[in-house]
Amino acid sequence: MKYNPNEIEKNWRKYWAENQTFAAEDNATKPKYYVLDMFPYPSGAGLHVGHPLGYIASDIVARYKRHQGFNVLHPQGYDSFGLPAEQYAIQTGQHPEKTTKENIARYREQLDKIGFSFDWNREVRTSNADYYKHTQWIFIQLFNSWYNKTSDKAEDITSLVSIFATEGNANVNAVCDDNIVPFSASEWNSFTSEQQQKILLQYRLTYLAETEVNWCPALGTVLANDEIVNGVSERGGHPVIRKKMTQWSMRISAYAERLLQGLETIDWSESIKESQRNWIGKSVGASVTFNLKEHNETIEVFTTRPDTIFGVTFMTLAPEHDLVAKITTSEQKQAVENYIEATAKRSERERMADVKTISGVFTGAYAEHPFTKEPIPVWIGDYVLAGYGTGAVMAVPCGDERDYAFANFFKGQKGMQDIKNIFEGVDISEKAFDDKNTTIIANSDFLNGLNYKEATKKIITELEAIRQGKGKTNYRLRDAVFSRQRYWGEPFPVYYVNGMPQMIEAKHLPIVLPEVEKYLPTEDGQPPLGNATNWAWDTGKNNVVSNDLIDNVTVFSLELNTMPGWAGSSWYWMRYMDAHNTTEFASADALKYWENVDLYIGGSEHATGHLLYSRFWNKFLKDRGYAPTEEPFKKLINQGMILGMSAIVYRVSGTKKYVSKNLKSEYEVEEIRVDVNFVNASDEIDLDKLKNWIPEFKEAEFILENGKYVVGREVEKMSKRWYNVVNPDDICNEYGADTLRLYEMFLGPLEQAKPWNTAGITGVFGFLKKLWRLYFDDNGLIVTNNEPSKDSLKTVHKTIKKVAEDIENFSFNTSVSQFMICVNELSAQNCHERAILEPLAIILSPYAPHIAEELWQQLGHGESISKVPFPVFDAQHLVESDKEYPVSFNGKTRFTINLPLNLTPAQIEEIVMKDERTITQLNGNAPKKVIIVPGKIINLVG
């Protein structure tokens, strides 16, 4: 009976689907375990062998936990809103929904083929209205909430309205916009509804505001910072500029400290935690206000070094700062405008990363030093960002390297003063001095002679006394822009009355995406939803109606922007808990039972995007009584990347000739990457396939070595661009999914990057065939009920222990090695005993579930192997009863002897002295000394 993976795997996939083998129970009495993968965006390219790596690891854990008696939730779904489907729609006119459904069908087919134990009954798609209905509902809750710093949580906006109506806002301790105008209770009560709404927008957790955004003209949308690489869009490589737009934003900054502190409570890698800490960017210092000369304006700065205030030589504003246009002199106007235009073409990330380029322009304006009243020139520079802090810095060149370089670069120009040295006994002729721990302040009036801590405390007291500053904790984390000017995203549940946003009642959700003729922005620059003819809200009928009916009395315009891609992914793990609930995103009972995700596996590229936003939404929902826990993901593992092994052919420059790898040194050549699937394990390419691939190779001449064309190899990211993508379907078809699963785990530690080499997969396939032969020969099952040998018991229990420990420690690659050792040992022992082979099938099943199910059934069992308890390791089988002693003569080992470990030294000596090999070595002489250490050595000294 031969091992036939294709037939076996097809049968078991059918069995699992028909019997819903992996459906999680609701509110079971069993302990729960929730294991989750970051759900995929379904692209048209489908999966390559790098994609399933994390899924295989999570599936091993899910199956193992079921064996341990847990009620396991292991769901899967699709992050199905997104820019690629919309770009395809723009190019072809095909609705993004059609493209998305086709891509999902392809993904599902591939995922099923690999044998994952997903509970497909709970599948979610963020682009389905029955899903984004709840995303819209969460948005409404955010709109109807404010952050109370006193209670340190989000609260219903009605509680804030009540405070305003009875006390005004003077004592409100809230996270809100800057420059809040104080008002009394009587003033609030006298305000019009529109005035009250405008004020409340300054406090709401999601709000409308004019903000600086990353605008990509080619894509017609705003991009998040993490969607921009080297100043261009990650998708398509299009230029990105900075511009001001009225956008919806999320007040994630309210949660900065809680997001920071929460990192101490979760089991994530230190690198991911550090990425989030850096992104949140907590810093302690002071807020300082500088008055502007000849203007009624002030510049507020945040500094972590208020002790250096007497060293301020100039000030720098972000080019986008609101004050720039107001304070720039007519003499400097043209230079400032030119600089601002050039800066708009650089992304924030590019400006932050570029520490070498020095650029700036003097505005012509001067600020006033709070204490000396000396004039301080005001510059603009693109190293200052409008969205970080206050968008302004007080430049102290003697204590900051970047300020030092800026001052020296513009030395001698109008508007740049000489560098002041305010540090006692420090030479700043070559570089700035930034060691605050050894700072002694000088040339600073009342701060002279003080160290950093003393000077900081003193200056904050003095700033507060003159009402030009105060101590402050600042965060780099900014509120997140939540609008996208595109079609394929969640519609906002918002309509506008006199320009003020109104929320559609929850009972009327979902607000479904309308049909549009084209997916580009309108001719007047409105988002694509501006092309919809039926996109107005009738407050009388409470439904969407034709735009022609807008009368601004009962029918109003709807929001034209859509939500960003991270909207649906910021809460999806909760929907899996209760995926078919039509009235709420998940019931209280389901949320209480599942709580949060026990194990989350996904890519590290989401460190400061999805992982930060999802923690924010989870904390908000906890505040409002909807989520049971503060953190969504207890443990996070970032799987490494599987790298592709690219294939390279060598074109002789200026010709249509291609030379084999080992002959290329004789020519001047160019490297051309070709489809890796045309290359065999010996790096030889199939020339017929290559010639039929693209026209370039059809008429080409190939210079061979020994009648073959050998390609070069390069390890790099697996990508269609490099033609090094390996389709998992091909591996499954040839070797079976179990081979693919084992091989991906065998490649190396889960969290490390590792290259794919198809040539190595045959060894894993050979292992499964060898495993099969323990159970079957050509005539069928050969398993016996005989008592197993001690060696076989030792082998299998050693493997039980190792595999259980490896899964608990997520060291899956070493488990595969142990399986191979185990099968080799059992084969050598000629083991065919049921007492050994049944537990072997069970411990293998998380890794290679199809073959394990087949073996289990062939052994006579009716239920799925996934329902069987994991074997218990018995330490007695690993206790050694014998010892292979080396017997030495004068320190040199001459032979070995196997003896029971329970013998005394006298008994050991008696046996060794009677051994013929000892007699031969001694040649009739008696040893002067016999050294015996039980369990270790036997040494006879002549």
* DSSP per residue, 242-280: EEEEEEEEE-GGGGHHHHHHHGGGSB--HHHHHHHHHHH
Largest Cα–Cα separation, the chain: 121
Residues 597, 631: Cα–Cα separation, whole Å: 9
pLDDT digits (tens, 9 = 90+) for 265-318: 999 999 999 999 999 999 999 999 999 999 999 999 999 999 999 999 999 999
Q: What is the Cα–Cα distance from 18 to 350, expressed in whole angstroms?
A: 53
Sign of dihedral through CA atoms 136, 137, 139, 143? positive
Span of 52-61, 150-159, 753-762 with lowest mean pLDDT: 753-762
* Measured distance CA(725)–CA(114) in Å, rounded: 17
Q: What's the confidence (pLDDT) of residue 655?
A: 95
What pLDDT does 45 receive? 84
Measured from the Cβ of residue 476, the count of other Cβ atoms closer than 10 Å reads: 16
Q: What region does 774 belong to: left with phi over 0, alpha with psi -120 to 50, or beta? A: alpha
Beta bridge partners of 156: 145
Is the pLDDT at 90 greater than 90? The verdict is no
Residues paired with 361 in a beta bridge: 380
List the structure tokens of 928: 């002067």
Question: Is pLDDT above 80 for 69?
Answer: yes
Binned at pLDDT 50, 70 and 90, residue 241 comes out as: confident
Q: Are 21 and 15 in contact (CB under 8 A)?
A: yes
Helix 5-19 × helix 737-746 angle, to 10°: 100
Distances (CA, A) of 786 to 477, 782, 872: 67, 12, 20
Taking alpha carbons only, the member of 770, 743, 765 closest to residue 754 is 743
- pLDDT tens-digit profile of 115-135? 999 999 999 999 999 999 999
Using CA atoms, how far apart are residues 113 and 130, in angstroms rounded to an integer? 28
Q: What is the pLDDT of residues 519-562, one digit of tens each?
A: 888 877 789 999 999 999 999 999 999 999 999 999 999 999 99
pLDDT in tens, 674-719: 999 999 989 999 999 999 999 999 999 999 999 999 999 999 999 8
Look at 226-240, 334-348, 365-379, 845-859 and tell me which has the smallest mean pLDDT: 226-240
Tell me what percent of the residues of the chain surpass a pLDDT of 70. 100
Q: Higher pLDDT residue, 609 or 525?
A: 609
What is the reported pLDDT for 226? 63
Quick one: average pLDDT of 734-743? Answer: 97
Pairwise CA distance, residues 144 & 200, whole Å: 9
How many CB atoms neighbour CB 781 within 10 A?
14
DSSP 8-state class, residue 805: H
Q: What percent of the chain lies above the pLDDT cut of 90?
A: 85
Separation CA 514–CA 491 (nearest Å): 9
Whole-number average pLDDT of the chain: 94
| Contact status, residue 564 vs residue 489, Cβ threshold 8 Å | yes
Distances (CA, A) of 685 to 651, 688, 850, 886: 15, 9, 34, 54
Residue 138: phi, psi to the nearest 5? -65, -40
How far apart, in whole angstroms, are the C-alpha atoms of residue 495 and residue 539?
Answer: 10
Q: What is the pLDDT of residue 709?
A: 98
User: Which residues, including other chains, have CB under 8 Å from residue 525's CB and lie 6 or more apart?
Assistant: none
Q: What is the pLDDT of residues 410-459, one digit of tens each?
A: 999 999 999 999 999 999 999 999 999 999 999 999 999 999 999 999 99
pLDDT digits 0-9 by tens, 902-919: 899 999 999 999 999 999
Alpha-carbon dihedral angle through residues 170, 175, 181, 187, given to the nearest 10 degrees = -50
Is the backbone peptide bond immediately before 514 cis, with ω within 30 degrees of 0? no
Residue 602 has pLDDT above 90, yes or no: yes
CA distances from 286 to 215, 372, 459, 460, 616 (A): 33, 18, 9, 7, 27
Calculate ∠ Cα 569-571-575, nearest 5°: 110
Check whether 255 has a pLDDT greater than 90: yes
The pLDDT, as a whole number, for residue 706 is: 94
Residue type, 137: W
pLDDT in tens, 799-844: 999 999 999 999 999 999 999 999 999 999 999 999 999 999 999 9
Range with the poorest average pLDDT among 63-77, 371-385, 511-525, 555-569: 511-525
**Is the confidence at residue 213, as pLDDT, over 80?**
no
Q: Please answer whether residues 183 and 168 qualify as being in contact, where contact means their C-beta atoms are separated by less than 8 angstroms.
A: yes
| Among 935, 938, 937, residue whose Cα is nearest residue 900 | 935
